[in-house]
Amino acid sequence: MIRKETGDRFGEATAYGNLGSVYQSLGEYVKAENYLQKALEFTRETGDRKGEAAAFGSLGTLLQSRGEFGKAKEYFEKALVIWKEVGYRKGEAVDYGNLGSVFYALGEYTKAAEYLEIARMIANEIGDRQGESTAYGNLGIVSQSVGEHAKSKRYFEQVLAITKEIGDKHGEAASYVNLGTVFQSLGDYSKAEKYYEGALIIQKETGDRKGEATTYERLRTVCRSLGQYGKAKEYRERAIEIKREIGLKQEGPPAYEA
């Protein structure tokens, strides 16, 4: 490695961090963790506090993806301490959001909402609209999980407004799906159908074939609830056709995750 030969410790830490991210994306978690630990070691040696916080955050994300939520929480908390110390508000907001996601995974919904709300407030303060949208979306998921559908609806409507404002088409489609899920949970199948159709339009525009197949399956379920069996059959066939085209394994109707 050239950076190692030239004594570029900062560059070497960055390279290790990047390698960790690559191996994580490939699902090679042991290698990913080894490289991220090396990145952490180098940032500590050089006194790079921001780099250290980023390494802790990356390790937290890795462990969270492996279901090791307790360890992930420890890393995110260490990252948060440093972000506060160096005054980097965006990093602080990200790690409050990460901790909120961990508490959600642990079933601690009150704490999850508390941390996500802090993340949202900081994102709002610094003008990070994408971060604010993400926090609103996660708050919506938490609210939905505890049966607070009216609150969940308000959060998802905020996400929809922001994603339209910033031109985030993927986020806009996800918002329509989430709102459709809320109305489906409330038994308002006509509104659910309307929102799923909105998502479908965007998914077709953006070429999101996997999302399109999933939305067709959601529409199938809604149409069955409305007694529209012909449409339900048509949607099911479209979902199957798309899955065949993209090589996606055919399964039963999906669970209504947010």
- Domains plus CATH for the chain? 1-87 (1.25.40.10), 93-155 (1.25.40.10), 168-258 (1.25.40.10)
CB atoms within 10 A of CB 222: 26
Percent of the chain with pLDDT over 90: 79
Query: Which pTM was predicted?
Result: 0.86
Q: 81-98: per-residue pLDDT in tens? A: 999 999 999 999 999 999
Q: CA 196 to CA 180: how far, in whole Å? A: 6
Percent of the chain with pLDDT over 70: 92
Strand locations in 133-199 (E): none
Q: How far is CA 128 from CA 5, 35, 148, 176, in A?
A: 39, 30, 26, 22
